A and B are shown apart, each in its own frame.
Chain A
Amino acid sequence: MKRLLIICSLLIAGVTSSHAQEHIDALLTRDIEGNRHGMTLRSAVKRDPETGEIIKRVYELSAIDHKSLAKEFIEAFKRDRESADVWDESENGSIYNVTAVWQNPKRVYSLAVGGSMVTVYAQTIYREEKQSK
């Protein structure tokens, strides 16, 4: 019985952690794959050529005149807040900033909203890069 409980709790923890940023990721995927007018999207992926393992993945989205999108991202960040290991939120005049960090793998997501302008930066570091000598 104890074993079963441990397995169940481990499974739940696993599922929870794998969906830690599910709301933000869902929005990013939607906007990256179905680009809309007035958006600039950048994405970068780095892989270890020897092992094929992904080292780093970066997404950057910026949009002007997308008030509703800004609202959607604020909402998504707030919904994923609970699972974040680090949460830093600030409001400077009309600019709203959030930085959220999750561990294993390390994910640093940030959001900046000012009026109708929104910038989202999402970086996932699967492992530290080996320093080239």
Chain B
Amino acid sequence: MRRVIFVAVMVIGVISSATAQNRDAYVVRVKDGVITTSENGLEYDTQIIEAPDLEEIVSHLPVVVTLVDGREGHIEISYPKVEAEYLRCKVYDNGKSLIIGRNGDVEQPKRSYISEHTPVRVTLSVTTLRSIANMGDMSLNIEHDSFDKWLNIVNSSTLFINASSISAEDKIELVNHGTMTCHVDNWRTENLMLTNAGYLFVEGTTTAKYIEQNSIGIDSTNLEVDCSKLEVISTGSGVIEYRGTADEVNITSMGQATIRTSELNGQM
């Protein structure tokens, strides 16, 4: 009996402490248009920006960017409150460019609270985006696939892209100097250009009629195509594999890459 009472008391204690933690985890305050939430002890400020003409995102910090369906130009940026004065998350160039970085006007703290575990979070709903430049650690989640006719993604650090599809009518261009991992099922565009000097992982299918891949880095490419022209120039390494059909294929390899095109247009 004593044991039962002891266990019951322990269970009630654990439940009440968890409830208290949960209550603490989502405290929301609003002051001067900035929403403050508390998440496991670390307070997050959320800034809301309206930029219906946004074309570019430039990030120098660990950031999670999520594209969602919503009111055009609505952007929410969340960051640890303790970092607020050290950050610069603003829209420049007449509302065309969102820059996420450090505030160069103030001395930076010795300890940074922004990391891949506690990143800056950007949630936006825009259809005019045409350029993403990452110089920090970025995780790009595309829940609502809506870009301009031309999309250019440049990475010189670590970038993860998660999307069921990426659509840009005329061109999708990936330029990588760091580590870029793209878990994208479908690349919907007319021209697909891949330039790699780091490590690039690309898979899925593409509707592109013209595909160009230039690499001096390490590639892990596995794409299913149905295109007019495919051109690969590699002096790098890794595995580049194309399947499907292509009217014109030009492959030049001067490095150590394994380029598999045997499933393209049948065997030799």
Chain A residues within 8 Å of B, Cβ to Cβ: 25, 28-29, 32-37, 39-49, 52, 54, 57, 59, 124
Contact = CB atoms under 8 A, between A and B. Distances in A.
Contact of A43 (B228, B247, B251): B251
Q: Which 5 pairs from chain A and chain B are nearest by CB?
A: A45-B249, A41-B253, A43-B251, A47-B247, A49-B247
Contacts of B251: 41-44
A35 B259 contact: yes
B254 interface: yes
A45 B264 contact: yes
Q: Number of contact residues on B: which range applies?
A: 20 to 34
Nearest to B228: A49
Contacts of B256: 35-37
Contact of B248 (A33, A37, A39, A44): A44
A41 B247 contact: no
B265 A45 contact: yes
B207 interface: no
B258 interface: yes
Nearest to B267: A29
B262 interface: yes
Interface of B: 228, 245-262, 264-266, 268
A74 to B, nearest CB: 21
B262 A44 contact: no
A31 to B, nearest CB: 10
12 contacts: A29-B268, A32-B259, A33-B262, A34-B258, A35-B256, A35-B258, A35-B259, A42-B253, A43-B250, A43-B251, A44-B250, A47-B246
B228, B249, B258: residue with the most chain A Cβ atoms closer than 10 Å: B249
B264 A41 contact: no
Contacts of A47: 245-248, 265
Contact of A40 (B245, B250, B253): B253
A80 B265 CA distance: 25
B181 to A, nearest CB: 23
A29, A43, A44, A57: residue with the most chain B Cβ atoms closer than 10 Å: A43
Contacts of B252: 40-42
A54 B259 contact: no
Contacts of B264: 45
Nearest to A29: B268
B4 to A, nearest CB: 68
Contacts of A28: 268
A40 B248 contact: no
A42 B258 contact: no
A28 B253 CA distance: 13
B268 A35 contact: no
Contacts of A57: 268
